[in-house]
Amino acid sequence: MLVVLGALPFFLYVAIFLLLPIGVLAVESFRATDPVTFEETWSTASIQAITEGPYRRAYLGSLQLSLITAVLGAVLGLALAVAVLRARRGLLLRRLVLTASGVLANFGGIPLAFAFLATIGSAGVVTALLTDTLGIGLGGFSLFSMAGLALVYLYFLIPLMVLTIIPALEALRPQWREASDNLGASGWQYWRHVGGPVLAPPVIGATMLLFASAFAAYATADALVGASVPLVTLQIANALSGDVVVGSENRGKALALGMVVLVGLVMVFYAWVQRRTQRWLA
Amino acid sequence: MTALAEGVAGSGSVAPETPVRRGRRGSGAWRYAVLAVLGVYFVVPIAASVWFTIRERDGVSLETYAAIPGAEGFAEAITRSLAIAGLTVVIALVLMVPTVVLVNLRLPRLRTTVELLTLMPLVLPPIALVVGVRSVLAWAPDYFFGTPLAEAFFALQKPSLPWILVFVYVILALPFVYRALDAGVRGADLRTLTEAARNLGASWPRVLVSVVLPVLKTSVLNAAFLTLALVMGEYTIAVILGFETFPTWIVVISGSAPQLSVAVSVLSLVITWLLLLLISALDRRRGTKETS
């Protein structure tokens, strides 16, 4: 019995600093403050508000950006991982790519935003090179747009994909490839009938992780675009910053709750995919 | 699957045609294309940032980097962030080392629950968590005003050393700390070691200090470095709660000193790199020790 007490601090800590805030979010999203009397009542006004107008656009913008960057990041990261693992004399290369992935997957947030500002921001080095020296300009590309954000997000999403997918690639047994070669299968047939089906669950799982990180990203977007691109994280920060009307605090909570619910749905799907994986790789 | 592969390999009655790997010879091209394109994509921003910080009207200079230590607010922000990071590391370890050991040795039934809870912060958007934390903190003036609880709430939010950031960062660090420690516990045969210690009459706290901690040294260091890197880069929670830490300071100075903010960013990338190299060096040392 005493042993169970040993695990108590952990559960208490998680209850107070993780579950309580999320629980409060779930409850207080359904509260409303009367603008005149400051009385609090139960209401779905905040929840309703976040499904309309700019908030709806923000959710759609965030979903679109995370979906596109997650899929692109997954495809490019997978290609990079396969290219590195297959390189014949690639031990050094593999080591380099793996360490670099470890660093760059952790290199999110503010420093990343400034690195890109120095590169293709309005005073960036590459911007100057393309416009002044080569005279071709950026061709309408702007760092402070949805496409610009996608370019920056991929900088930490691709390494994240490489890190998460390499164990799965290494688990593909060479015997399977040899067997299918011996049976006369082409490379395409091998990937269509053997490699693909085995790899699909971990690839989908990793893509979900990429989606969740892109969806949650705030620092980079805040430092780069301010509020000019519709994203939920930016709208939440906006709703919380003091100088706005009564009730916007509750709208911020509702927006945050919406994010939690969306990520939760993604995770339920992920758990389902994982259960299917185990059948194959056990 | 393996059984199938072996079965096929063993069936000698099928004339074994030499495998001709069609399309394999030509497949090198896409590999080099991928490596080249992504190589450029990953190197250019770093190279451009470095160039951005060292170019001057006539040639190059390292003045921007030399100016970092003396920059306004830098010392204060970095000291505060380092203090927060240190406290986060200590609390995370004190909380998680006993938990991971207990879950592995005595309470395997709790494993799934603990795993699930520690993985939650990996996918939960930090901004959602911080909105919740803010709502809880708002109870102090709203409901508890004048009570000791409210005093405690306010004490958590001192701008000079915001303890609330420490407590929330511990939550954010849970996935990394748990996984690093769990790998260490599984790698070492901790069950035998602790049973031996217990049979020789050591108490559980004694086992934790003299057996578990020495065995887990590299995992503990690993967890500590990952937590340090996380805290030094965290922006969302600090800025929403309105505290000034190292990352928020970078944003504050970027308006007046763009070169300086890029230089600090480059420096923080280099430091992250060094930290992770240190971790992999530790891991490799442990790997060789175990095989020998």
Question: Per residue, what are the HEC states of chain B?
Answer: CHHHHHHHHHCCCCCCCCCCCCCCCCCHHHHHHHHHHHHHHHHHHHHHHHHHHHECCCCECCHHHHHCCCCCCHHHHHHHHHHHHHHHHHHHHHHHHHHHHHHHHCCHHHHHHHHHHHHHHHHCCHHHHHHHHHHHHCHHHHCCCCCHHHHHHHHHCCCCCCHHHHHHHHHHHHHHHHHHHHHHHHHCCHHHHHHHHHHCCCCHHHHHHHHHHHHCHHHHHHHHHHHHHHHHHCCHHHHHHCCCCHHHHHHHHHCCCHHHHHHHHHHHHHHHHHHHHHHHHHHHHHHHHHHC
Q: Is the pLDDT of residue B1 over 50?
A: no
Subunit contact B247:A155, Cβ cutoff 8 A: no
Which residues are CB-contacts of A56 (< 8 A; sequence separation ≥ 6)? Answer: A50
Q: Is the pLDDT of residue A93 over 50?
A: yes
Tell me the C-alpha to C-alpha distance, in Å, between residue A94 and each of A107, A169, B25, B37: 20, 13, 21, 16
Subunit contact A18:B171, Cβ cutoff 8 A: yes
Q: Give the pLDDT confidence score for residue A50 in this predicted structure.
A: 80
Q: Give the pLDDT confidence score for residue A28 in this predicted structure.
A: 87
> Which of A87, A124, A236 faces B131 most closely, judged by CB atoms?
A236
**What residues of B are in contact with residue A86 (Cβ under 8 Å)?**
31
pLDDT-derived band at A207 (thresholds 50, 70, 90) equals very high
Q: Give the pLDDT confidence score for residue B286 in this predicted structure.
A: 61
The DSSP letter of residue A258 is H
C-alpha A159/C-alpha A74 separation (Å) is 10
**What residues of A are in contact with residue B41 (Cβ under 8 Å)?**
154-155
Subunit contact B9:A266, Cβ cutoff 8 A: no
Mean pLDDT on B78-106 = 92
Interface test with A, best of B14, B116, B131 (most A CBs within 10 A): B131
**What residues of B are in contact with residue A254 (Cβ under 8 Å)?**
none
Mean pLDDT on A203-223 = 91
pLDDT-derived band at B130 (thresholds 50, 70, 90) equals very high
Interface test with A, best of B127, B230, B260 (most A CBs within 10 A): B127
Higher pLDDT, B146 or B125: B125
Subunit contact A187:B170, Cβ cutoff 8 A: no
Q: Which of B218, B196, B219 is nearest to B207 (CA)?
A: B196
**What residues of A are in contact with residue B110 (Cβ under 8 Å)?**
7
Mean pLDDT on B6-28 = 47
Which residues are CB-contacts of A179 (< 8 A; sequence separation ≥ 6)? Answer: B4, B5, B8, B9
**What residues of B are in contact with residue A22 (Cβ under 8 Å)?**
124, 128-129, 132
Subunit contact B132:A21, Cβ cutoff 8 A: yes
Q: Give the pLDDT confidence score for residue B4 in this predicted structure.
A: 41
- 0.90 surpassed by pTM: no
C-alpha B251/C-alpha B112 separation (Å) is 40
Q: Give the pLDDT confidence score for residue B6 in this predicted structure.
A: 38
Minimum distance, in Å, between the CA of residue B240 and any CA atom of chain A: 7
Subunit contact A20:B273, Cβ cutoff 8 A: no
Calculate Rg over the CA atoms of chain A: 23
Higher pLDDT, A141 or B181: B181
> Which of A28, A83, A112 faces B35 most closely, judged by CB atoms?
A83
Please state, as a whole number, how many other Cβ atoms lie within 10 Å of the Cβ of residue A142: 14
Minimum distance, in Å, between the CA of residue B170 and any CA atom of chain A: 9
Calculate Rg over the CA atoms of chain B: 26
**What residues of B are in contact with residue A253 (Cβ under 8 Å)?**
131-132, 135
Walk me through the domains of chain A, giving residue ranges and CATH numbers. 57-281 (1.10.3720.10)
C-alpha B133/C-alpha B168 separation (Å) is 8
Helix (H, G, I), strand (E, B) or coil at B73: coil
> Which of A114, A237, A280 faces B265 most closely, judged by CB atoms?
A114
Q: Is the pLDDT of residue B221 over 90?
A: no
Higher pLDDT, A136 or A161: A161
Q: Is the pLDDT of residue A206 over 80?
A: yes
**Sheet strands (E) in A205-277:** none
Q: Give the pLDDT confidence score for residue A190 in this predicted structure.
A: 86
**Sheet strands (E) in B55-208:** none
- Paired strand residues for A42: A31
| pLDDT tens per residue across span A147-181 | 999 999 999 999 999 988 988 888 888 888 888 88
Query: Which tokens go with B175?
Result: 């996935």
Q: What is the ipTM of this complex?
A: 0.87
Q: Is the pLDDT of residue B16 over 60?
A: no
Mean pLDDT on A4-18 = 90
Q: Give the pLDDT confidence score for residue B289 in this predicted structure.
A: 52
- Paired strand residues for A32: A41
> Counting one residue from A and one from B, how many pairs have CB atoms under 8 Å apart?
254
Helix (H, G, I), strand (E, B) or coil at A178: helix
C-alpha B1/C-alpha A241 separation (Å) is 57
Please state, as a whole number, how many other Cβ atoms lie within 10 Å of the Cβ of residue A74: 24
**What residues of A are in contact with residue B96 (Cβ under 8 Å)?**
10
Subunit contact A223:B251, Cβ cutoff 8 A: yes
Subunit contact B106:A109, Cβ cutoff 8 A: no
Residue indicated by tokens 């995992």: B219
Q: Give the pLDDT confidence score for residue B27 in this predicted structure.
A: 57
| pLDDT tens per residue across span A51-74 | 888 889 999 999 999 999 999 999
Subunit contact B103:A7, Cβ cutoff 8 A: yes
Tell me the pLDDT of chain B averaged across its residues.
83
The DSSP letter of residue B84 is H
Helices A232-240/A53-86 angle, 10° precision: 130
Subunit contact A119:B24, Cβ cutoff 8 A: no
Subunit contact B135:A253, Cβ cutoff 8 A: yes
Subunit contact B24:A267, Cβ cutoff 8 A: no
C-alpha A234/C-alpha B239 separation (Å) is 12
Q: Give the count of alpha carbons within 13 A of B8, CB side only.
A: 15
Walk me through the domains of chain B, giving residue ranges and CATH numbers. 75-291 (1.10.3720.10)
Residue indicated by tokens 């000034």: B244
C-alpha A196/C-alpha B215 separation (Å) is 40
Contact A46, A30 (CB under 8 A): yes
| pLDDT tens per residue across span B94-104 | 999 989 988 88
Q: Is the pLDDT of residue A79 over 70?
A: yes
Helix (H, G, I), strand (E, B) or coil at A33: strand
Minimum distance, in Å, between the CA of residue A192 and any CA atom of chain B: 15
Subunit contact A115:B262, Cβ cutoff 8 A: yes
**What residues of A are in contact with residue B45 (Cβ under 8 Å)?**
115-116, 118-119, 155
Helix (H, G, I), strand (E, B) or coil at A221: helix
Which residues are CB-contacts of B268 (< 8 A; sequence separation ≥ 6)? Answer: A111, B232, B233, B246
> Which of B22, B48, B268 faces A119 most closely, judged by CB atoms?
B48
